[in-house]
Structure 1
Amino acid sequence: MQPIETIMRTAPVIPVLVIEDIAHARPIAEALVAGGLTVLEVTLRTACALDAIREMAKVEGAIVGAGTVLNPGDLKASIDAGAKFIVSPGLTEPLGKAAIESGIPFLPGTANAGDVMRGLDMGLTHFKFFPAMANGGTPALKSLTAVFGQCAFCPTGGITESTAADWLAIPQVLCVGGSWVVPKGAPDVAAITATAKAASALA
């Protein structure tokens, strides 16, 4: 398995995907990979999410992970579905321990200094900053990185195509999570590919 840092450095944007129709999974993955975004986060917010991970994993070049992983049960189900990395909105001791024991690349959510300190106590140094805009935007994250310079972040939540570059300019930000790349509804493959190309050029 690739280290979480390698995954975070693969592309500047990780599309955050809510797949509501399994028939959409593969076309979306193919369009994103064609546009240069190969790291895909499928959130466990829908009934078909685990099946979507399985389908997207069949696309050559795609590195498919599970997001919105809340507990060890979600973790196991995601790994069983073939997830290559795990993203959680927050960090609890049961989930953190289970993820570390599994050996899977893990990107836990943090919102403040206490969250980061809890992660550091577990031996983790790479975090999601979530929800990024609601937590104070780039000024808030810059304040955290001033204290936790040894850590790397993937801000997610409220980031747009027009603001992504501001986040990526922070040295400790290796990538951002973005839901703007794939709008809701039936996928417009050409539009997704074009948006992915623009996002991949943000590096």
Structure 2
Amino acid sequence: MAVTPLSTLDLPTYGPVVPVIVIDRLEDAVPLAQALVEGGVRVLEVTLRTPAALPAIEAMARAVPEAIVGAGTVLGAADAQRARDAGAVFAVSPGYTSALGQACRGLGLPLLPGVATSGEIMAALDDGYSFLKLFPAEAVGGIPLLKAWASPFGQVSFCPTGGITVATAPDYLALPNVRCVGGSWLTPAPALAQRDWARITELARAAQALRSA
């Protein structure tokens, strides 16, 4: 059955950049979310790459209700279930399988599936997904690839992630088939290590100011 992914949560309407967050210390989760929200960034993708990730999602969702907290690096049904149980309201995957798409649909968890090839796009389209994450964007072709896909996949829009910086993000956002970008530059490791929340708020404000050319 065809579905409209993210039908209950249209991520790009909240801003041009989705931060890709890696949490190592649970105690950083709430102040980090607060700093991003203060800077106008409400959609937060917390990657399931560390033991602190799921507790961080739970803490953010509970303590910062203005934040729209999702889980990244969702690899299968078990990850999706754990993310949903922790309070995530959307999922992001680095690749796509029908099993993952079906699992998220069954959980009522909106999914932004990752793709890197035309075949993966076609598989996602077969399952009703037309808003996709290009990952790792820079490594697999970036802007030239997205331009090449615009004609054969005119019904598809993208959130490119992977290697994008504040300097290159405007070039991606200028493409007609790009609705938003994902970036880790909003939460740089040095700022997290120093708990420099003011710096993260500043980066969030700058990200919200990015617009398509």
Q: Pairwise CA RMSD of aligned residues?
A: 1.4
Aligned AA (2:17):
V
- Structure 2, unaligned stretches of length 5 or more? 1-5
Aligned equivalents of 2:169, 2:9: Cα separation in 1: 19
Aligned equivalents of 1:53, 1:118: Cα separation in 2: 29
| Stretches of 4+ aligned residues off by more than 6 angstroms | none
1:37·1:197 contact (CA, 8 Å) conserved in 2? yes
Q: Paired residue for 2:208? A: 200
1:97: Cα distance to partner? 1.2
- Please give the residue correspondences for 1:146-157 in structure 2 after superposition, counting only pairs within 5 Å: 146-157=151-162
Q: Percent identity between the aligned chains?
A: 53
1:97 to 82, 97, 102: 102
Q: Paired residue for 1:3? A: 7
2:57 corresponds to 1:49: no
TM-score (norm 1): 0.96
Residues 104 and 74 of structure 1, relative CA distance in 2, 3 Å threshold? same
2:142 corresponds to 1:137: yes
Q: Paired residue for 2:72? A: 67
SS at match of 1:47: coil
1:146: Cα distance to partner? 2.0
TM-score (norm 2): 0.92
- Structure 1, unaligned stretches of length 5 or more? none
Q: How many residues align?
A: 203
2:146·2:177 contact (CA, 8 Å) conserved in 1? no
Aligned equivalents of 2:179, 2:107: Cα separation in 1: 24
SS at match of 1:120: helix
1:106 to 111, 124, 141: 111
1:190 to 178, 194, 198: 198
